[in-house]
Structure 1
Amino acid sequence: MSLDPNPRPDDSSSTTGPVTPPAPSEQATEAPTVVAVGQPAHKSILREYAEAIIIAMLLAFAIRVFVVQAFKIPSGSMIPTLLVGDHILVSKLSYGLQWPTDCKIQPGFPPVTCYSSRTLIPFGSIQRGDIIVFRFPEDEDKDFIKRVIGLPGDTIHVRNKVVHINGTPFDDHAFTQHTDPPVHDGRISPRDNFGPVTVPEDAYFVMGDNRDHSLDSRFWGYVRTEKVRGKAFRIYWSWSGQGSWTEWVRWERLGKAIQ
């Protein structure tokens, strides 16, 4: 006896007359239900804003650490090159790609403060005449800005306000000023008579352009290479806040290159 894989209805159940529709009680009484599966939930507005803020802060922190940082000039030690109220940009890439070291966590932004750096990929070297920002040796929570005068191995000697480098007078008249005529004895103050000293390896002798009113290497020593934060290259804003309100902004200094 064979089995038909597709059995046909019994012939006895077939009819040739019209088919009678099922009674109402036999019809489906419930509509089919459709359930959506796997649809992602929309992010809340608060979460989207939080993510955007975090990403922006991380980008700002990376740019500040590795590329460029803004500083404000609070004192007159670099007059006439830089004035009080100048806002400047400092390049972190002028001398190479720097990796921060000697860091500590602190509240605020940025959340991390680094007191030294190590050069991963050198792009150049610090030159005489460069204006650099660095950690102040006597208080590394402060940043100072000065001009590089002595390179490693140079002999620096200041005699009656004139700077000598390796026995030769240094021509700095184009960017310096002296506003206090008296000459101080070197035994009383190193301001006008100092040295001679030889700059150590991997260090720099720096001075302010406002020579009679600058706290610099004549008073506290040298700047180590790992403490240099970058090279100042441009003024992006300058605010005097003095005189007529139309003179509060020094428009002529905006965008000026620092030399």
Structure 2
Amino acid sequence: MSFFEQIQEWFASDEGKEDVKTYTVSLSVALLLRLLIIEPRYIPSLSMYPTFEVGDQLAVEKVTKRIRPFNRNEVVVFNPPERFRELVGESSRKSKEALIKRIVAVEGDTVEVKMGGTLFVNGVQQDEPFTAEDAEYEFGPVIVPPGDVLVLGDNRNHSLDGHIWGFLPAENVIGRAVFVYWPPWRVGNTGMF
């Protein structure tokens, strides 16, 4: 009996049918979980250092974006806005990749990065222990429009973020980062909320 005939016979057997059913159900459940609830993401750059390092793998939950508003200091994964695509080039691979940044302001907030790199939201200086260093630029003041958020990288001077390309439509958000699961020595959610 040829290999092909053995495969056909296995598929026709009760054991084969049961295995196929089990694999199909398992794959369907896994795909639904990834599509609707939680998905893995990989950190490719140092724009969010020190919160994330290159190679970190994290879980991004996709449910709460539908049921509660975004808050300042949350780390989100999102599809890049049109202005970002224009800056990096529509045909660039980067223009199609999801990005990860921290929400620093939500709709209605007045945002400014003043001389010395300090972030102010609604006139209040922000305590940002998660940043790598103070920004070496000034920005604003600007008011976040309805339906948008302003996102910045934690590594402020090495991040192509909202201070360059503007506001992020909230509808572009894929989900909130909830914890690093790889590498093992970085497991946790320090600095994500």
Q: Is TM-score (shorter-chain normalized) higher than 0.5? A: yes
Q: Which residue of 1 aligns with 2:29?
A: 59
Alignment partner of 1:153 is 2:108? yes
Find the partner of 2:49 among 72, 79, 89.
79
CA-atom RMSD in angstroms: 2.1
How far 1:54 moved relative to its partner? 2.5
* Residues in 1 aligned to 2:124 and 2:70: alpha-carbon distance in whole angstroms: 21
User: What is the count of residue pairs matched by the alignment?
Assistant: 169
Q: Which residue of 2 aligns with 1:25?
A: none
- Secondary structure of 1:59's counterpart equals helix
Alignment partner of 1:198 is 2:128? no
Q: Which residue of 2 aligns with 1:170?
A: 126
* Residues in 2 aligned to 1:142 and 1:207: alpha-carbon distance in whole angstroms: 17
Structure 1 runs not aligned, ≥5 long: 1-40, 97-121, 184-191, 239-250
Letter in 1 for 2:96: D
* Equivalent runs, 1:1-259 vs 2, <5 Å: 42-43=13-14, 45=16, 47-96=17-66, 122=67, 124-137=68-81, 138-139=84-85, 141-160=96-115, 161-172=117-128, 174-178=129-133, 183=136, 192-238=137-183, 251-257=184-190, 258-259=192-193
Q: How big is each residue's C-alpha offset from its partner over 1:197-247, in whole Å with a ceiling of 9 and x where there is no partner?
A: 111101100001111101110111111121111111111112xxxxxxxxx
Letter in 2 for 1:127: N
* Residues in 1 aligned to 2:133 and 2:152: alpha-carbon distance in whole angstroms: 13
How far 1:44 moved relative to its partner? 6.3
Structure 2 runs not aligned, ≥5 long: 1-11, 86-94
- Secondary structure of 1:57's counterpart equals helix
* Residues in 2 aligned to 1:201 and 1:217: alpha-carbon distance in whole angstroms: 16
Equivalent pair of 1:148/1:206 in contact (CA under 8 Å): yes
Q: How big is each residue's C-alpha offset from its partner over 1:69-94, in whole Å with a ceiling of 9 and x where there is no partner?
A: 11111100111111111110111122
Which structure 1 residue ranges, 4+ long, deviate > 4 Å from structure 2? none
* Bigger Rg, which one: 1
How far 1:167 moved relative to its partner? 2.3
